[in-house]
Structure 1
Amino acid sequence: MTIRHARSTDLDALDALEQQCFPPEEAATRASFAQRLAVFPEHFWLAEEDGQILACVNGCVSDSPLLQDEMFENADLHNEQGAWQMLFGVETHPAAQGKGYASALMRRMIADAKAQGRQGVVLTCKQELLDFYRRFGFENEGVSASQHGGAVWYDMRLRF
């Protein structure tokens, strides 16, 4: 497995992965991915094997202490000097799930965010993923105000 940052040429593969991993009402659009790749490709961590992207972690950086729904669609809210690494998505191709790809990407993203001097990492997740993120030291801050995709989300934070 190779871990690398995204390139603009990854757009098709990332869009396909997103559509496989999230329901339509929660999945990022191709246009949103194109904008993210143009603004913050170094905040995409990809797990690749034999030239195929098997998993992805991505998100902008912000001074906001909470992940806000508008961040998903507006890459211009990215602030490279921001205090918090936001995570928009953690996804693994269905055929590659359970093999440690997402965990490897999480460890790398956390190490990179620390090295960049961030205060920590912020994400929202569904209830069934709370334990996954707790394994990396994230704390549950309760039900999020997020309305993204009409789901119930929990605010999670990892402080450095």
Structure 2
Amino acid sequence: MSIRQATMANLDAIASIESACFPQAEAATKDEFAKRIQYYGNHFWLLIDENQIVSFVDGFVTNQKDLSDEMYEKASLHDEAGQWQMIFGVNTLPSYRKKGYAAKLLERMIDDAQSQNRKGIVLTCKDALVPYYAKFGFIDEGISEKSVHGGVRWHQMRLTF
């Protein structure tokens, strides 16, 4: 297994994994992923197993302290000099789940964000995943007031370095 950054050559595989992981109302589109790779491919981590992408984590960097729905749709808001690394998605193919692969990517993202001198990382998740992210040091800040993405109630969680 190896970890590397995404390129446009990975677009179809990324869109396919997203479709397998999220309901249509919550899933990013292929066009949105193309923009994400274009603007912040260096903040898009892929886990590769025998030349197949099995998991990915992505999100841009910003000076905005809280994650908002606008961020999902506008990759151009990425600011490489930003203080906060956002996470927009943690995706693992269903047949590869419960093997620690997403954890490997999260640990790499955390290491990279720390080495880039960010203040920390922000994500939103559903109720059931709060304990999972807490294992990495993320603190639940309660229900997000800025994200109702896909018509869902999201917890905002923050890992401050």
TM-score after normalising by structure 1: 0.99
Shift of 1:92: 0.3
- Name the counterpart of 1:29: 29
Q: Percent identity?
A: 50
Q: Give the match's secondary structure for 1:23.
A: coil
Shift of 1:6: 0.5
- Name the counterpart of 2:122: 122
AA matched with 1:120: G
Could you list the runs of 5+ residues in structure 2 that have no partner in the other structure? none
Shift of 1:147: 1.3
- Name the counterpart of 2:73: 73
- Name the counterpart of 1:86: 86
Shift of 1:117: 0.5
- 2:44 & 2:38 partners in 1: Cα distance? 11
Q: Give the match's secondary structure for 2:53.
A: strand
- Name the counterpart of 1:44: 44
- 2:136 & 2:64 partners in 1: Cα distance? 21
- 1:155 & 1:147 partners in 2: Cα distance? 11
CA RMSD for the aligned pairs? 0.5
- Name the counterpart of 2:150: 149
Structure 1 outlier segments of 4+, above 4 Å:
none
Deviations 1:98-141 (A, max 9, x none): 11110000000000000000000000000000011000000000
- 1:61 & 1:19 partners in 2: Cα distance? 24
- 2:93 & 2:12 partners in 1: Cα distance? 14
AA matched with 2:52: Q
Q: How many residues align?
A: 160
